[in-house]
Amino acid sequence: MKHIQCLASLLTLLIMTSCSDNETVVNVIPMPQEVQIHKGRFCFEQTSFILDEHMDQASLSYVQKFEELLHLKGMQGGTASSANFIVDNSFGPEEYSIDSREGSLEVKASALNGFVYAIQTLKQLLPAEIWSDSKAEKLEIPALHIHDWPRFDYRGLMLDVARHIFSIQDLHRYIDLMEIHKLNRLHLHLTDDQGWRVEIKSHPKLTEIGAWRKGTMIGNDFSSDDGIPYGGYYTKEELKELVSYAASKGISIVPEIDLPGHTQAIVAAYPHLGCTGGPYEVRTTWGVSDDVLCAGNEKSYKMLEDILTELMEIFPSEYIHIGGDECPKVRWEQCPKCQAKIKELGLRDDEHFSAEDYLQSYAMNRIETFLNAHGRKIIAWDEVLEGNISQSATIMSWRGAAGGIKAAQSGRDAIMAPNSCMYFTHCQSKNRDAEPLAVGGYVPVNKVYDYEPYDSKMSEAECAHIAGVQACLWTEHIQDFSLIEYLVLPRLDALSEVQWCEAQNKDWNRFRTSLWHMKDIYDQLGCNYATHIFDGRMDEDQKPIPPIKHKALGCQARLLTEPHLNYHYNAPYELFDGQKGDSSFSSGKWIGFEGNDLDVVFKMGNKSFESVGIETLTDIGNYIMSPTWLKVYVSEDGENFSLLASDEYEADGPESKNGIRRHSLSFSKPQRSKYLRVQAGTIDSLPAWHTGHGAKAFLFVDEIIVL
């Protein structure tokens, strides 16, 4: 049905622009699928509300609250006009329609979510003062017809309450912002190395010990510690209240217990469940811990079942998120219990994955079976594709879109949350010094807006596996809620159109204009939103970086080593496009190699040159290390190469700084050859001083500059 509606909605938008009342603009975000504007207005004035007797209790309460709000704003009761809220069971659960004209308003939906979205649309059509205690001029909306439904079923926003915890009041406000934008899933990242945040009666030490850390690293300095004890957790009662608050707005809370990695807080509380037996403490630095839950110990599974049983009591959500990301295997490799489990299960290294990767799949699948038996489905981060995760797991793609594409191609459902545009922790400006401390890259509003979840590589059947889109907010550097608002607004507006609007209904210029009305709403609500798009700073950021001119620009090239799947982007052409990468590794400008070298051949066509250089990115916290060597070869046939020059560079140390580096090899006289080959590499694995020690190192390269 959705697909049939696509064409109809396109036509409707065309009609809307050709015969609408010229002065009437519909500033609604996300833009409804079908809008027709008529002449005239509907005014909430001496209005009687008529609520369908078949309406369910939740919808009834929601509509009644809207009526009360209008009364507070000065609407009189009476018979001059009517607002009719009708249950129409031919509508899907999230579909609604609005028909307004002089004296009459008619809203149709079949269930709570449809009524919520209809009322949110009505509120956005009303003056912005509806959102505050201020007096509204006139409670009127244009005469119009709207028929609306979401493109994607799963429209999520994540909040990490493990790194920093936020009050229930703050969480209410987060939910309110989601409600305005018609989102329906709040993903709460409840547990991590740095803190366990949910009361579990059967395992009280999870909160007595696991919810508290002795201190916190300062900024990005892994050797620092502010020495200030930090912690807290939510009681079951608090969370149940939160669940019902969200449910009253059509929002389901998806709880995440991150397993089997990111579990240092669990083993701090119950050291016998770690592979070494500890002692452990709740982690005070960010990054990834080697100390993970022992997957060979039956007691781990028993505890997880107890935890999940209590979690299901709090959260009725159809989905439970069980993490699965960033689980180092170094402890499992050395642990007698884990190795015995591997043997018992007959797991082996193969050409794709290690026995320990398969052990993780075993653990995830076992937990899934338990949750399925209780009527729940699992979501897990895309790392779980490394092994043999079940077909019924829903994959949350965060390391770019590759994991989601792979999941869909293998017949699994996927939720797209690529860090390249859906991590709202990333900076909103290239002028990073003027921004709050952020993780990773550059994600302005338009980058969020431009995201299209259906990849051109995917068939229609594979696209049907994309359940939805989510943005994530990690809180390593966020301690207070006003900063959350700053990071979320107005990127949430862009997200909502990616989640809600059929692709052909998205329109950056219309969106950008409507955003001014959202700004008024945010002002009324007293939100701390980012202003780049309103004060022109974003346009400055958007100016293309001046290309650098060099002799290999646009040349033919082939790569002899494969970049990492998530950082392949437009390789190898990205390396010769004259556009330099910035300080963000995930901007799409950098080509990333994990555990292998750059090796590229390109055709110089006999142009003379005097130096060959590469630009690389160093981002040590993200495992991206400086090159330790560079070699340049020449060839006349593109097959047989002779070494022209090489150099070695000092490896990064604990004091090394992040940034962009250029390494060049210069020649005493001009050289000429048909083909050039450039190789560069870095250390194989991260050194002992690095928090990720033992893991493979990345080399990130952008431009190869031939002068």
Residues that bind ligand ACM (CB under 6 A): 325-326, 381, 398
Distances (CA, A) of 620 to 624, 697, 701: 5, 9, 14
326 a catalytic residue: yes
At its nearest, how many Å lie between Zn ion and the CB of residue 297? Answer: 6
Residue 500, binding choice from Zn ion, ligand ACM, none, Cβ under 5 to 8 Å by partner class: none
Question: Which residue number, 258 or 413, has a Cβ lying nearer to ligand ACM?
Answer: 258
Question: Which residue number, 325 or 455, has a Cβ lying nearer to ligand ACM?
Answer: 325
Among 113, 30, 43, 39, residue whose Cα is nearest residue 76: 43
Residue 381, binding choice from Zn ion, ligand ACM, none, Cβ under 5 to 8 Å by partner class: ligand ACM
Question: Which residue number, 83 or 327, has a Cβ lying nearer to Zn ion?
Answer: 327
In whole angstroms, what separates CA 331 from the centre of its chain?
29
Measured between alpha carbons, how far is 472 from 159 in angstroms, rounded to an integer?
6
3-state helix, strand, coil in the chain (%, to 5): 30, 25, 45
Question: Which residue number, 381 or 522, has a Cβ lying nearer to ligand ACM?
Answer: 381
Among 387, 224, 128, residue whose Cα is nearest residue 395: 387
Helix/strand/coil (H/E/C) assignment for every residue in 340-401: HHHHHHCCCCCCCCCHHHHHHHHHHHHHHHHHHHCCCEEEEEHHHHCCCCCCCCEEEECCCC
Residue 696, binding choice from Zn ion, ligand ACM, none, Cβ under 5 to 8 Å by partner class: none
Residue 275, binding choice from Zn ion, ligand ACM, none, Cβ under 5 to 8 Å by partner class: Zn ion
User: Looking at 71-79, 226-234, 273-281, 410-418, which segment touches Zn ion (CB under 5 A)?
Assistant: 273-281
Asked if 308 and 370 count as a contact pair (C-beta separation under 8 A), the reply is yes
Residue 325, binding choice from Zn ion, ligand ACM, none, Cβ under 5 to 8 Å by partner class: ligand ACM
At its nearest, how many Å lie between Zn ion and the CB of residue 310? Answer: 24
Question: Which residue number, 87 or 293, has a Cβ lying nearer to ligand ACM?
Answer: 293
Among 424, 484, 524, residue whose Cα is nearest residue 131: 524
Report the DSSP beta bridge partners of residue 252. Answer: 185
Among 198, 263, 260, residue whose Cα is nearest residue 233: 198
Residue 319, binding choice from ligand ACM, Zn ion, none, Cβ under 5 to 8 Å by partner class: none
Exposed (0-12), middle (13-18) or buried (19+): which is 410, by Cβ within 10 Å?
middle
294 touching Zn ion, by CB under 5 A = yes
At its nearest, how many Å lie between ligand ACM and the CB of residue 619? Answer: 15
User: Looking at 295-303, 305-313, 551-559, 630-638, which segment touches Zn ion (CB under 5 A)?
Assistant: 295-303
Question: Which residue number, 271 or 436, has a Cβ lying nearer to Zn ion?
Answer: 271
338 touching Zn ion, by CB under 5 A = yes
User: Looking at 272-280, 509-517, 577-585, 661-669, which segment touches Zn ion (CB under 5 A)?
Assistant: 272-280
At its nearest, how many Å lie between ligand ACM and the CB of residue 474? Answer: 7
Residue 294, binding choice from Zn ion, ligand ACM, none, Cβ under 5 to 8 Å by partner class: Zn ion
At its nearest, how many Å lie between ligand ACM and the CB of residue 536? Answer: 32
305 a catalytic residue: no
Q: Cβ–Cβ contacts within 10 Å for residue 486, how many? A: 18
The contact mask relative to Zn ion for 22-61 (x = CB under 5 A, - = no) is ----------------------------------------
Helix/strand/coil (H/E/C) assignment for every residue in 289-308: CCCCECCCCHHHHHHHHHHH
276 touching Zn ion, by CB under 5 A = no
Question: Which residue number, 387 or 403, has a Cβ lying nearer to Zn ion?
Answer: 387
DSSP string, 585-645: TTSSS-EEEESS-EEEEEE-TT-EEEEEEEEEEEBGGGTB---SEEEEEEESSSSS-EEEE
Residue 398, binding choice from ligand ACM, Zn ion, none, Cβ under 5 to 8 Å by partner class: ligand ACM
Q: Report the half-sphere exposure of 335 (CA within 13 A, side-chain side).
A: 25
Residue 338, binding choice from ligand ACM, Zn ion, none, Cβ under 5 to 8 Å by partner class: Zn ion
At its nearest, how many Å lie between ligand ACM and the CB of residue 566? Answer: 12
617 touching Zn ion, by CB under 5 A = no
At its nearest, how many Å lie between Zn ion and the CB of residue 339? Answer: 8
Backbone angles phi, psi at 260, to 5 degrees: -85, -5
Among 597, 577, 570, residue whose Cα is nearest residue 678: 597
Question: Which residue number, 98 or 338, has a Cβ lying nearer to Zn ion?
Answer: 338
Asked if 446 and 495 count as a contact pair (C-beta separation under 8 A), the reply is no
Enumerate helices (H) and strands (E) in the chain, giving the number of each.
19, 27
460 a catalytic residue: no
Distances (CA, A) of 26 to 73, 135, 624, 673: 22, 22, 46, 62
Question: Which residue number, 303 or 335, has a Cβ lying nearer to Zn ion?
Answer: 335
Asked if 426 and 442 count as a contact pair (C-beta separation under 8 A), the reply is yes
Report the DSSP beta bridge partners of residue 416. Answer: 397, 469
Among 59, 187, 398, residue whose Cα is nearest residue 406: 398
User: Can you read off the two tokens belonging to residue 642?
Assistant: 């002779």
At its nearest, how many Å lie between Zn ion and the CB of residue 337? Answer: 5
273 touching Zn ion, by CB under 5 A = no
DSSP string, 210-277: TTEES---BTTBTT------EE--B-HHHHHHHHHHHHTTT-EEEEEEEESSS-HHHHHH-GGGBSS-
Question: Which residue number, 326 or 357, has a Cβ lying nearer to ligand ACM?
Answer: 326
At its nearest, how many Å lie between Zn ion and the CB of residue 354? Answer: 14
At its nearest, how many Å lie between Zn ion and the CB of residue 302? Answer: 15
Question: Which residue number, 397 or 583, has a Cβ lying nearer to ligand ACM?
Answer: 397
275 touching Zn ion, by CB under 5 A = yes
Measured between alpha carbons, how far is 697 from 707 in angstroms, rounded to an integer?
29
Distances (CA, A) of 519 to 118, 124, 329, 408, 571: 21, 12, 47, 37, 39
Residue 211, binding choice from ligand ACM, Zn ion, none, Cβ under 5 to 8 Å by partner class: none
Q: Which residues, other chains included, contact 303 with Cβ-Cβ below 8 Å and sequence gap of 6+?
A: 203, 270, 273
Residue from 101, 337, 432, 603 touching Zn ion (CB under 5 A): that is 337
Q: Which of 94, 95, 148, 192 is flagged as catalytic?
A: 192
Q: Which residue has the tokens 């909040």?
A: 159
Q: Which of 181, 262, 517, 564 is flagged as catalytic?
A: 262
User: Looking at 217-225, 242-250, 282-290, 338-346, which segment touches Zn ion (CB under 5 A)?
Assistant: 338-346
Residue 152, binding choice from Zn ion, ligand ACM, none, Cβ under 5 to 8 Å by partner class: none
Measured between alpha carbons, how far is 676 from 659 in angstroms, rounded to an integer?
27
Question: Element (H or E) spanning 422, and its range?
Answer: helix 419-422
Measured between alpha carbons, how far is 212 from 229 in angstroms, rounded to an integer?
7
Pairing of β 608-618 and β 659-672:
antiparallel
At its nearest, how many Å lie between Zn ion and the CB of residue 581? Answer: 40
162 touching Zn ion, by CB under 5 A = no
Q: Give the CB-nearest residue to ligand ACM.
A: 325
335 touching Zn ion, by CB under 5 A = yes
Residue 337, binding choice from Zn ion, ligand ACM, none, Cβ under 5 to 8 Å by partner class: Zn ion
Question: Which residue number, 335 or 415, has a Cβ lying nearer to ligand ACM?
Answer: 415
Q: Cβ–Cβ contacts within 10 Å for residue 352, how many? A: 10
At its nearest, how many Å lie between ligand ACM and the CB of residue 323? Answer: 8
Q: Which of 199, 326, 368, 462 is flagged as catalytic?
A: 326
Residue from 30, 114, 250, 296 touching Zn ion (CB under 5 A): that is 296
**Contact residues for Zn ion, defined by CB under 5 A:** 275, 294, 296, 335, 337-338
Q: Which residues are catalytic?
A: 192, 262, 326
